């Protein structure tokens, strides 16, 4: 600090001195060297961009709305009030690693272009609390708000199911042989991604009587994942260019296959992989903690951004293992992103229902143990096919392997409601209701036995219903209700449900079954002939009222 005062240098000039940047060697981080450009065009562009980062540092771009000086400086979040020692250790480590420049706070009067962002802490299992720079606060005047994202590198991301796919393929190709997996955590490498000296004034925070300048791409800045991915892609390419020792892999001497992640959370995955059995599990303590946090929020009826972010960190394991959960996870995440301040907010009804869905799934904790990798990666082909149709008079669902059908005729009162509220009770919604009835009635018969999981393909002649079932996402309240019922049953019975479109003219039997309720109907003979020797499954309480059914779960 005394050197900064006596030198009279601006912050960017002082940072260059601190980094030992010279005209002969302008590199911000001396551990980074220029990479030779390869012939491969895609890899050539990747390495060219990385060489630019190594030579000059990351060069953020800013919107015209960014003021020259910060108008209002925010206080740190209350979450760190009881974790001062953790924050201090974090700063000391960052300073020791060369990531942080720490100076006394009176230099704010000299370096007037500094933007201070608040910091907070979040719990991290098995370690000290993690310090987070909140570059998204305050709303409308944050570092992330002022960032121009047009020059960000494209993020490459291989989800956890790629590991499952790889294990499945190796087990199938080399049955009976041990499958080895090399794990590595390279998050520490990302502190070597420097920010150009002219821009470090935007990445600072205050702790007690000190100003901490982050010289690297820090967690919390919207551009960091893109530049982490740039480094991760290069590390992955280096790994994939190597071959395992012949003694370790005599049957498969080919090049290693890597996977790319953007942060240390996903690198570690938090999942338990068993390459011998070909399965993946979620640690029981993660499920228990997620269930506890969900119940706490439901009982409180309100929540803070900090509480929701902690919960989302736990629920991501559910969405990794069970893809239909992603739509409900995203609904909660959208609500969290909408927070304009750290204050408490009431949980809206639709988010509460999604949280209820998670609470139901999390009670079935044994379902998160020993999930076959082929099921985890959704590699199983359909083993059952179900056809369905809907009309203004009823719905019909067909299960050919059981030679059973479900038929539900609408009452006059229900048909009157359809006429007065077409959007809320459209034919699209009724088509999806057929899928709900199918999984509720036949789910126990389809339930997995041992390792084998049943993959049901639902054939629907309505494109909207196909999309709703495939993505499990919609703003329509009834559709969201139906998707919750489908997904919780799918999880309970260890099923995989997919959707496919069938042309209406080809969906003859299901269409006739949804319409031909009397002998004088033109399709009555078609239905009676095709359904001969089939058995009807009656829709009885509680399956006759799906809204009430969900409310009682």
Residue 341 burial by CB count (10 A; 0-12/13-18/19+): exposed, middle or buried?
Answer: exposed
Instruction: Name residue, tokens 């044994």.
Output: 366
Q: Do domains 2-239 and 383-552 have the same CATH topology?
A: no
Question: Cβ–Cβ contacts within 10 Å for residue 508, how many?
Answer: 15
Nearest Cα neighbor of 14 from 24, 5, 4 is: 4
Read off the pLDDT of residues 329-375 as tens digits, 9 standing for 90 and up: 999 999 988 876 667 899 999 999 999 999 999 999 999 988 888 88
Q: How far apart are CA 428 and CA 73, in angstroms?
A: 51
Per DSSP, what are the bridge partners of residue 495? 454
Measure the CA–CA gap between 438 and 440, rounded to whole angstroms: 6
Write down the pLDDT at residue 261: 42
The class of domain 383-552 in CATH terms is alpha beta
Ranges in the chain, pLDDT < 50: 260-268
Q: Which two tokens stand for residue 33?
A: 């060297």
Residue 231: per-residue pLDDT: 83
CATH number of 2-239: 3.10.10.10
Contact 214, 200 (CB under 8 A): yes
Question: 278: phi > 0 → left, psi -120 to 50 → alpha, else beta; which?
Answer: left
Residue 436: what pLDDT? 98
Q: Tell me the helix, strand and coil percentages in the chain, rounded to 5.
A: 45, 15, 40
* DSSP-based three-state secondary structure for 303: strand
- Report the DSSP pairing between strands 394-399 and 384-390: antiparallel
Is the bond preceding 454 in cis, omega lying within 30 degrees of 0? no
Distance between CA atoms of residues 32 and 291, nearest Å: 44
Q: Is 113 exposed, middle or buried, given 0-12, 13-18 or 19+ CB atoms closer than 10 A?
A: middle
Helices 477-492 + 349-362 axis angle, to 10 = 10
pLDDT score, position 268: 37
Residue ranges per structural domain of the chain: 2-239, 281-375, 383-552
Residue 399 bridge partners (DSSP):
404
Q: Give the number of other CB atoms < 10 A from CB of residue 383.
A: 14
Q: Quick one: 322 exposed, middle or buried, by C-beta within 10 A (0-12, 13-18, 19+)?
A: buried
With CA atoms as reference, report the closest residue to 492 among 445, 453, 457, 447: 447
State how far the Cα of 454 lies from the Cα of 495, in Å rounded to an integer.
5
Q: Which residue has the tokens 């972010």?
A: 309
DSSP assignment of 313-354, as one string? HHHHHHHHH-TTHHHHHHHHHHHHHT-SSSS-EEPPHHHHHH
d(CA 41, CA 347): 49
Task: Give the per-residue pLDDT at 156.
Answer: 66
Q: Peptide bond before 213: cis, by omega within 30 degrees of 0?
A: no
Per-residue model confidence (pLDDT) at position 189: 62
Long-range (24+ apart) CB contacts under 8 A made by 408-411 are 408/437, 408/539, 409/517
The 3-state secondary structure of 174-200 reads CCCCCCCCCCCCCHHHHHHCEECHHHH
Report CA 71 to chain centroid distance, whole Å: 35
């Amino acid at each position: 600090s005394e050197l900064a005062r006596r030198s009279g240098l601006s912050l960017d000039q002082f940072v260059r001195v601190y980094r030992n940047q010279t005209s002969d060697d302008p590199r911000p981080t001396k551990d980074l060297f220029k990479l030779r450009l390869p012939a491969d065009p895609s890899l050539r562009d990747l390495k060219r961009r990385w060489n630019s980062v190594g030579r000059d540092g990351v060069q953020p771009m800013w919107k015209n709305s960014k003021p020259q000086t910060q108008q209002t400086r925010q206080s740190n979040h209350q979450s760190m009030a009881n974790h001062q020692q953790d924050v201090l250790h974090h700063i000391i480590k960052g300073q020791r690693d060369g990531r942080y420049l720490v100076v006394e706070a009176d230099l704010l009067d000299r370096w007037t272009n500094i933007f201070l962002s608040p910091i907070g802490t979040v719990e991290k299992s098995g370690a000290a609390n993690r310090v987070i720079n909140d570059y998204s606060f305050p709303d409308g005047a944050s570092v992330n708000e002022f960032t121009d994202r047009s020059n960000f590198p494209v993020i490459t991301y291989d989800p956890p199911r790629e590991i499952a796919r790889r294990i499945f393929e190796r087990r199938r190709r080399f049955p009976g042989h041990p499958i080895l997996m090399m794990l590595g955590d390279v998050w520490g490498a990302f502190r070597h991604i420097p920010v150009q000296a002219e821009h470090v004034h935007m990445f600072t925070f205050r702790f007690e009587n000190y100003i901490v300048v982050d010289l690297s791409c820090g967690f919390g800045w919207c551009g960091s994942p893109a530049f982490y991915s740039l480094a991760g892609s290069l590390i992955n390419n280096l790994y994939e260019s190597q071959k395992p020792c012949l003694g370790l892999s005599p049957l498969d001497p080919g090049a290693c296959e890597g996977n790319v992640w953007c942060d240390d959370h996903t690198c570690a995955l938090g999942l338990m992989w068993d390459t011998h059995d070909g399965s993946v599990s979620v640690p029981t303590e993660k499920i228990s903690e997620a269930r506890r946090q969900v119940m706490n929020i439901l009982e409180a009826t309100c929540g803070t951004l900090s509480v929701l972010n902690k919960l989302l960190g736990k629920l991501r394991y559910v969405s990794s293992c069970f893809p239909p959960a992603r739509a409900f996870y995203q609904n909660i995440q959208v609500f969290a992103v909408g927070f304009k301040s750290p204050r408490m907010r009431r949980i809206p009804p639709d988010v509460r229902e999604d949280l209820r869905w998670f609470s139901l799934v999390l009670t079935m904790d044994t379902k998160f143990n020993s999930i076959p990798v082929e099921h985890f990666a959704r590699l199983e082909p359909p083993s059952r096919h179900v056809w369905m149709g809907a009309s203004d008079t009823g719905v019909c669902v067909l299960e050919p392997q059981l030679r059973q059908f479900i038929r539900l005729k609408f009452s006059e009162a229900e048909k009157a409601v359809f006429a007065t509220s077409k959007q809320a009770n459209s034919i699209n919604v009724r088509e999806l209701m057929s899928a709900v009835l199918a999984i509720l009635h036949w789910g126990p018969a389809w339930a997995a036995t041992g390792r084998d999981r049943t993959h049901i393909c639902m054939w629907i002649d309505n494109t909207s219903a196909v999309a709703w079932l495939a993505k499990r996402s919609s703003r329509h309240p009834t559709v969201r209700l139906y998707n919750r019922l489908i997904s919780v049953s799918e999880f309970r019975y260890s099923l995989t449900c997919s959707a496919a479109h069938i042309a209406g003219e080809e969906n003859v039997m299901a269409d006739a079954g949804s319409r031909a309720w009397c002998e004088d109907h033109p399709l009555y003979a078609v239905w009676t002939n095709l359904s001969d020797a089939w058995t009807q499954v009656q829709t009885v309480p509680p399956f006759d009222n799906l809204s009430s059914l969900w409310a009682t779960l």
